[in-house]
Amino acid sequence: MTTDTPILYIVVPCFNEQEALPGSHERLINLMHEMKSQDLIATGSKLLYIDDGSRDDTWQLIDELAAGSSEVAGVKLACNSGHQNALMAGLSQAVEHCDITVSIDADLQDDINVIPTMVERYKQGCDIVFGVRRERKSDSWFKRTTAGMFYKLMNRLGVDTINNHADFRLMSRRAVLALLDYKERNLFIRGIVTKLGYKTDCVYYDRSARMAGESKYPLRKMVNFAIDGITSFSVKPVRLVMQVGLLFLIIALIMLAYVLTAYFMGRAVSGWPSLILSVWLVGAFVLIGLGIIGEYVGKIYTEVKNRPRYNVDTTVGLNSEEEQ
């Protein structure tokens, strides 16, 4: 892999984007030409559009663009598989042909003018460069607050994400290959990339409004995405069940002391002590039992995800034949 003039593939997932695509393409291709003329990226660099099973004319558009230019390529998924899967599909195709990838949404809400800076950072030795939004004025109040709450909750639960970073990022070839080693089905890519361990950096920009068309992330998809993000990375909710169980056990013990005093002072109505103690004790044992089962289910879950155990950064003294 050479780092002087890398081949760049810009990967763009598109779902029903016929309104936004022509404008976005125009801007992306201009940027591409500019970067090529500055020798920032190699001439073999391309735009790669992934049609995520669109029901409008998105694929026809991509097809025409690809037919008209060797700088455009397209992949059509057989049916709508979701943004994260479409992105994975694109990255896995791109990685075979390029040194670096930049992923960006088709509506270009993220500022494409920071892409050259991302490439510069790559040349300085970064494997992953995150695009981070400085502020979200252009998003609706609702989207801003829910997103803010989501990032906070994720961090509380111990999931490593970069605040205000969506899926606008540069990844080197080896970072993409490492990402592709995560074979899980419930994908939350931005949680995985922070785990890869390679050298990373952030570039900041202001997020603008969607160029055309409507958001393809209705509330339902957003909630599902958030649940995926949490449950794919954190066993804390299970631990919480266990903790509530233990809390109930403590309450049961307090109740025991209370019941005993009441009993000896002759204030206990007959039948009440056994009843009240059973309620708390049974509750505590049920929750603790669920917590224990949850721990095992959590272990099984991490096993079936089959994630790679480690990720090698550099080696010395190995492959001596190759080096000579």
Beta bridge partners of 205: 133
Q: Of Mg ion, ligand UDP, none, which one sits near residue 17, judging by CB under 5 to 8 A according to partner kind?
A: ligand UDP
Cβ-based nearer residue to ligand UDP, 82 or 291:
82
7, 10, 15, 59: residue in contact with ligand UDP (rule CB under 6 A): 15
Binding residue (CB under 6 A) for ligand UDP from 5, 109, 172, 232: 109
Of the candidate spans 121-129, 192-200, 215-223, 231-239, the one that interacts with ligand UDP by CB under 6 A turns out to be 215-223
Alpha carbon of 148 to those of 32, 134, 136: distances in Å? 33, 13, 10
Instruction: State the nearest-atom distance from the C-beta of 189 to ligand UDP, in Å.
Output: 12
- 3-state SS of 162-209? CCCCCCCEEEEHHHHHHHHCCCCCCCCHHHHHCCCCCCEEEEEECCCC
Q: Which of 284, 256, 214, 271 is nearest to 15 (CA)?
A: 214
Cβ proximity to ligand UDP: between 17 and 111 the closer is 17
Q: Which one of 216, 238, 241, 284 is in contact with ligand UDP (CB under 6 A)?
A: 216
Which two tokens mark 290?
């669920």
Name which of ligand UDP, Mg ion, none residue 106 binds, using a CB cut-off of 5 to 8 Å depending on partner kind.
ligand UDP
Spatial separation of the C-alpha atoms in residues 84 and 193, rounded to whole Å: 13
Contact stretch for ligand UDP (CB under 6 A) within 94-102, 106-114, 245-253, 261-269: 106-114
Q: Rounded CA gap, 322 and 221, in Å?
A: 48
- Residue 128 interacting with ligand UDP (CB under 6 A): no
In the complex, minimum distance from the CB of residue 190 to ligand UDP, in angstroms, rounded to a whole number: 12
Q: How many CB atoms lie within 10 A of CB 125?
A: 11
Q: Which of residues 7, 47, 72, 86 is near ligand UDP by CB under 6 A?
A: 86
Which of 35, 41, 106, 189: binder of ligand UDP (CB under 6 A)?
A: 106
Eight-class DSSP state of 79: S
What mask of x and - would describe binding to ligand UDP in positions 42 to 71, judged by CB under 6 A?
----------x-------------------
Please state, in angstroms and rounded to a whole number, the distance separating the CA atoms of residues 133 and 278. 54
> Which residue lies nearer to ligand UDP by CB, 83 or 165?
83
> Is 105 an interacting residue with respect to ligand UDP (CB under 6 A)?
yes
Helix locations, the chain, DSSP H: 21-37, 58-68, 83-94, 115-123, 141-156, 173-180, 189-193, 219-233, 236-264, 272-305, 320-323
Q: Are 86 and 79 in contact (CB under 8 A)?
A: no
Q: Is 107 in the site for Mg ion (CB under 5 A)?
A: yes
Which CB, 105 or 228, lies closer to ligand UDP?
Answer: 105
Pairing of strands 169-172, 72-76: unpaired
Cβ count within 10 A of residue 25 = 20
Which of 18, 138, 208, 215 binds ligand UDP (CB under 6 A)? It is 215
Binding flag, residue 138, ligand UDP (CB under 6 A): no
First-to-last alpha carbon distance for the chain, in angstroms, is 17
Smallest gap, in angstroms, from Cβ of residue 13 to ligand UDP?
Answer: 4
Q: How far apart are CA 16 and CA 33, in angstroms?
A: 26
Q: In angstroms, give the least distance from the CB of 287 to ligand UDP.
A: 37
Residues that bind ligand UDP (CB under 6 A): 13-15, 17, 52, 80, 82-83, 86, 105-107, 109, 215-217
